[in-house]
Structure 1
Amino acid sequence: MNSSEKAYFATGCFWGAERRFWNIDGVIETSVGYMGGVRPNPSYEQVCTGVTGHAEMVEVTFDPTRVSYRRLLEEFWVMHDPTSLNRQGGDIGTQYRSAIFTTSESQKLQAEVTRDVYQAALTREGIDQIVTEILSAEGVPYYLAEEYHQKYLQKNPNGYDCHSSTGVAFPALAN
């Protein structure tokens, strides 16, 4: 039985995010692409102009018996600044928005719960509200990005990693 699930995360520039996810034990495969826009089969150049409305996404295929969706979410929240609207650091535009596309009701609930847990931690630090979109992936096509973007930081180890963050760790679970 194939026990893999898919998760979709937008954290700004997708190069660094993909590497963060592929380094997690239990992640089977990652790819980068575009979701949430209006134009079918958009090119990177089109997405970069903001006209297509797509976000730069990482598709994560994972084995839920080895890594939980919650663990992926915890990584998602701290690998970028989810309070930054339509930008991450110097990358500005709707294609760099923070978003989660969920593939099940369970994923949606976990995304909302972890958002609220992380928001509480941010609020304690005097940091703004999370602006991450949590949307259903149902009926939303995922378009694979061009080949040169796939595993970009594996091909270009000193390439632009582009990640900013709030600097606030995800709170540990109380036992």
Structure 2
Amino acid sequence: MDHFVNHHPLHGPFPQGLEQIVLGMGCFWGAERRFWRLGEGVFVTAVGYAGGATENPSYEQVCSGRTGHAEVVLVAFDPALISCETLLRTFWESHDPTQGDRQGNDIGTQYRSVIFCSSDEQLRLAEASRRAYGAALAAKGLGPITTQIAPAPPFYYAEDYHQQYLAKNPDGYCGLGGTGVACPTGLGAEPA
């Protein structure tokens, strides 16, 4: 199956030199659109489930809250064309990472905020970005970040009809909303 927008293959193996990161920020339809719209450097996006115990879960199982999975977006990107910092900035600014197991009216563990990293460098950048954005949020009177940051667990692709849903259904639901707080630049500039 190919990506509905850019026609690249949804499933790997992806071309050599690409990195992958898995991000969860509420309903995955709008989250995926935020990343494919970044354009050059984003090879492919795909929605799926990660962070839980059930193998190959269905959407209905994930929505039951019994799998432990979050709705997530896999982003395969070329770090020579788009930085992990840019992806992280988009992540932080596109949702409210202080809400725990919800995003707006979407409530449940599947809507929690997560960053699942595929390398130690991504983990370092994610932690540095959390500290920087946490300080920016606190300065505006918002609560602490609840985002889970961890090495990438298995990623399970969502059903075909969920892939690039908002490109196929332009008037479809998107409950994403950020805090209005800008993420500081130079997120990963802190020493390791």
- Same-fold status (TM-score > 0.5): yes
Residue correspondences, number: 173
Q: Residue 83 of structure 1 aligns with which residue?
A: 98
Provide the TM-score with structure 2 as the length reference.
0.87
Provide the TM-score with structure 1 as the length reference.
0.96
1:136 to 151, 158, 166: 151
* More deviation, 29-38/165-174: 165-174
Are 1:65 and 2:80 matched, yes or no? Answer: yes
Secondary structure at 2:76's aligned position in 1?
strand
* Shift, 1:78, TM fit: 0.7
Q: Which runs of 4+ in 1 moved over 6 A?
A: none
Q: Residue 23 of structure 1 aligns with which residue?
A: 37
* Shift, 1:171, TM fit: 2.0
* Shift, 1:3, TM fit: 1.4
Distance 2:170 2:17 in 1: 31
Q: Residue 167 of structure 2 aligns with which residue?
A: 154
1:145 to 158, 170, 187: 158
Q: Show structure 1 runs of 5+ residues with no match.
A: none
Q: Residue 7 of structure 1 aligns with which residue?
A: 21
Matched residue type, 1:147 = D
Distance 1:39 1:123 in 2: 36
1:51-79 CA-partner distances (Å, limit 9, x unpaired) = 11100010000000000001100000011
Q: Residue 169 of structure 1 aligns with which residue?
A: 182
Q: Residue 101 of structure 1 aligns with which residue?
A: 116
* Shift, 1:141, TM fit: 1.1
1:73-113 CA-partner distances (Å, limit 9, x unpaired) = 00000111000110000000000000000111100000000
Q: Show structure 2 runs of 5+ residues with no match.
A: 1-14, 188-192
The alignment-based identity, stated in percent, is: 55
Distance 1:92 1:74 in 2: 24
Q: Supply the RMSD in Å over aligned alpha carbons.
A: 1.4
Secondary structure at 1:9's aligned position in 2?
strand
